[in-house]
Amino acid sequence: MQKFLIIGLGNIGPEYAHTRHNIGFDVLDAFVLKNGGFFKIDRLAEVAEVKWKGKVFCCVKPTTFMNLSGKAFKYWMDKEKVEIENTLTIVDDLALPISKIRLRASGSDAGHNGLKDIQLTLGTDAYPKLRFGIGNDFKKGQQVEFVLGKWKLEERKIIDLKIEKCVEVIESFASIGLSRTMTIANAMEIK
């Protein structure tokens, strides 16, 4: 049975729940819920195992805080014996508009502290990432408040739809592969 490691990045604690920076957690929650799984506290993370179409997904929400995401990533990748190309990291991205997602096989951390720590821990940037566009609608000097802020009411419809699309991307990644899924995901305009 083919195994995948899906990592949703975010920060633990109720003050961070459903913020832009925690979209990785929200996408993973939706994927696990859709597939009848549930999270339990385990080493360095909340973890859920779900099965879908003959595949096993180890779903991980690190409890190490964003800046130390690499520790949980490496631990679970090694423990579950998952090849790096069968991992998918879901992360917020300021550089992408709210209507877009971007799937890549590799690429820089683009200033994201969670990705920076994973790259440092793994010693490579060559691991698949699903970037969830959060836009950059903030005033100069307000980036932290924006990223750690909640979605605006008028954004919720798009965000909920994008979360659904990201769940489909995870399934597609596992069934038809990264390259074909990139073609589909990167062309999406979610409105």
> 109: Cβ–Cβ under 8 A, 6 or more apart, which residues?
115, 116, 118, 119, 125
For residue 131, being part of any structural domain is answered with yes
| 161 alpha-carbon distance from chain centroid | 15
pLDDT at 191: 87
DSSP-derived letter for residue 84 is G
Contact 69, 122 (CB under 8 A): no
pLDDT at 142: 87
Residues serving a catalytic function are: 21
Domain of residue 17, residue span: 2-185
For residue 174, being part of any structural domain is answered with yes
For residue 191, being part of any structural domain is answered with no
Q: What is the pLDDT along the chain (191 residues), one digit of tens a residue?
A: 899 999 999 999 999 999 999 999 999 999 999 999 999 999 999 999 999 999 999 999 999 989 999 999 999 999 999 999 999 999 999 999 999 999 999 999 999 999 999 999 999 999 999 999 999 988 888 888 999 999 999 999 999 999 999 999 999 999 999 999 999 999 999 98
Structural domain count, the chain = 1
Neighbours of 109 (CB within 10 A): 16
CA-closest candidate to residue 187, choices 85, 79, 84, 101: 101
CA-closest candidate to residue 104, choices 73, 129, 85: 129
For residue 190, being part of any structural domain is answered with no
Quickly list H helices, 10-155.
23-34, 69-80, 113-122, 143-147
For residue 121, being part of any structural domain is answered with yes
Which domain CATH number covers 20? 3.40.50.1470
